């Protein structure tokens, strides 16, 4: 170990992550202390790493963090995740940020302070590439002054911010490619709760637990759009058709419009969502490059609607992974599998039930017959804790049916996943 270059030791210490472990390891000898001071590039203060953090007073914690940070030179990644410990005084936190900001590339910041600190003011105009901000407030954004010229990834969680300030913040980040917005407290001055975001560089956006009347996203370079647990009246995407992934999970939205962005879609994943199939299909019908389609736990807006598998086969010739789970009705089996079509490229098929019935067996058999090159079949099911004799009988019949059916398809790998 004594022959290791000091730069390598600094790399080892950086990979330890937790600040307490770094301090202990660096006390090994003079060479390791030198590596800590001059070659440590990553440092993490996480209240979950050490139970004693919760027992120390605020002033003692501030002293420990200050002493640790101030003995380093050239930190590139700093994580301060102490939100559940106590509120810190603003002065020492400002000192930490000012001391490290010229070399910092990543800042993961979840600290409550009294009074609140304007993070944008302290970290703007530097070389920061990743900013992960939680449980703070953003106000009075001045994009002409608070620029983030190198920022590529921005994550805001449980942050209070106005729709205007969020829009201005994006303007101040001309290179941002990844944006995550989780449980934001959107401050509104307008009676209509709407938000308009415009960015030319954004490639990936994740939005979770946000309730608004309207979101309009103008992002010409967007490749990934993920919405989860949101309540919206209108969501509109204005883009130039580079979207590759669309994922929607447990979202309530009256009007969803991705415009002309569907031509390059490769993955569509929709779960726990109420859809009008004809309208939804029309939205993605031009996605000739689609490889994965997942409709899981979806509810149809019209009781008479069925998913037309023949249309899926015609519109998505490159489809290789198909996952379907919705309430089966007789029409879904009779009309959904009409025609002589084949899903030639589907190699993985996932099918699920919420309520097991004989229709499900017919549906499985019908779809298997349409997938000549299938390699893997996954059956997902829900089995209640309290089962009636009838439910047990139905499940037993289905199991026997699958055993007989799969004798015809010996090359297919069959898996069962029950909840």
Q: What share of the chain in percent tops pLDDT 70?
A: 97
Highest mean pLDDT: which range of 159-168, 256-265, 324-333: 159-168
Is residue 237 packed enough to be buried (19+ CB in 10 Å), middle (13-18) or exposed (0-12)? buried
Please, which pLDDT band fits residue 332 given cuts at 50, 70 and 90?
A: low
Q: How many helices (H) and strands (E) does the chain have?
A: 12, 25
pLDDT in tens, 205-242: 999 999 999 999 999 999 999 999 999 999 999 998 89
CB-CB contact of 360 with 353 (8 Å): yes
Please, which pLDDT band fits residue 1 given cuts at 50, 70 and 90?
A: low
Of 240, 303, 307, nearest in space to 280 by CA: 307
Please, which pLDDT band fits residue 185 given cuts at 50, 70 and 90?
A: very high
Strand ranges for 24-169 from DSSP E: 42-46, 77-81, 88-89, 106-110, 113-114, 130-134, 137-138, 153-157, 160-162
Give the span between the Cα atoms of 298 and 268, in whole angstroms.
Answer: 13
Tell me what the mean pLDDT of segment 171-179 comes to: 96
Give the span between the Cα atoms of 326 and 353, in whole angstroms.
Answer: 7
């Amino acid at each position: 170990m004594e022959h290791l270059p000091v730069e390598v030791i600094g790399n080892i210490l950086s990979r330890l992550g937790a600040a307490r472990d770094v301090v202990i390891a660096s006390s090994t000898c003079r060479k390791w202390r030198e590596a800590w001071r001059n070659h440590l590039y990553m440092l993490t203060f996480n209240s979950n790493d050490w139970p004693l953090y919760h027992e120390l007073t605020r002033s003692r914690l501030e002293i420990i963090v200050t002493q640790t940070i101030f003995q380093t030179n050239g930190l590139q990644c700093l994580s301060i995740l102490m939100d559940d410990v106590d509120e810190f005084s603003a002065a020492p936190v400002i000192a930490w940020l000012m001391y490290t900001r010229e070399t910092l590339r990543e800042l993961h910041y979840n600290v409550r302070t009294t009074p609140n600190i304007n993070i944008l003011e302290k970290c703007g105009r530097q070389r920061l590439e990743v900013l992960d901000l939680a449980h703070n407030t953003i106000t009075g954004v001045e994009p002409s002054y608070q620029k983030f010229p190198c920022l590529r990834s921005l994550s805001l969680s449980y942050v209070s911010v106005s729709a205007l300030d969020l829009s201005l913040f994006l303007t101040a980040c001309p290179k941002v490619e990844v944006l995550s917005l989780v449980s934001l407290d959107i401050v509104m001055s307008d009676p209509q709760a709407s938000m308009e975001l415009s960015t030319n560089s954004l490639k990936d956006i994740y939005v979770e637990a946000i309730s608004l009347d309207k979101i309009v996203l103008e992002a010409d370079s967007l490749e990934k759009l993920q919405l989860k647990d949101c309540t919206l009246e209108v969501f509109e995407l204005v883009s130039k058709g580079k979207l590759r992934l669309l994922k929607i999970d447990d979202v309530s939205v009256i009007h969803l419009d991705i415009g002309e962005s569907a031509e390059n879609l490769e993955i569509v994943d929709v779960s726990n969502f109420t859809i009008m199939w004809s309208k939804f299909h029309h939205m993605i019908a031009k996605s000739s490059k689609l490889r994965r389609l997942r409709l899981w736990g979806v509810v149809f807006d019209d009781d008479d609607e069925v998913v037309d598998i023949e249309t899926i086969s015609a519109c998505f010739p490159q489809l290789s992974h198909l996952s379907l789970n919705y309430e089966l009705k007789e029409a879904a089996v009779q009309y959904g599998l009409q025609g002589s079509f084949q899903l030639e490229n589907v190699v993985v098929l996932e099918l699920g039930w919420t309520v097991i019935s004989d229709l499900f067996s017919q549906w499985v058999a019908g779809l298997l017959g349409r997938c000549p090159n299938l390699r893997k079949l996954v059956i997902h099911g829900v089995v209640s804790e309290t089962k009636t004799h009838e439910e047990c009988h139905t499940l037993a019949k289905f199991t026997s049916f699958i055993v007989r059916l799969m004798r015809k398809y010996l090359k297919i790998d069959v898996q069962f996943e029950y909840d």
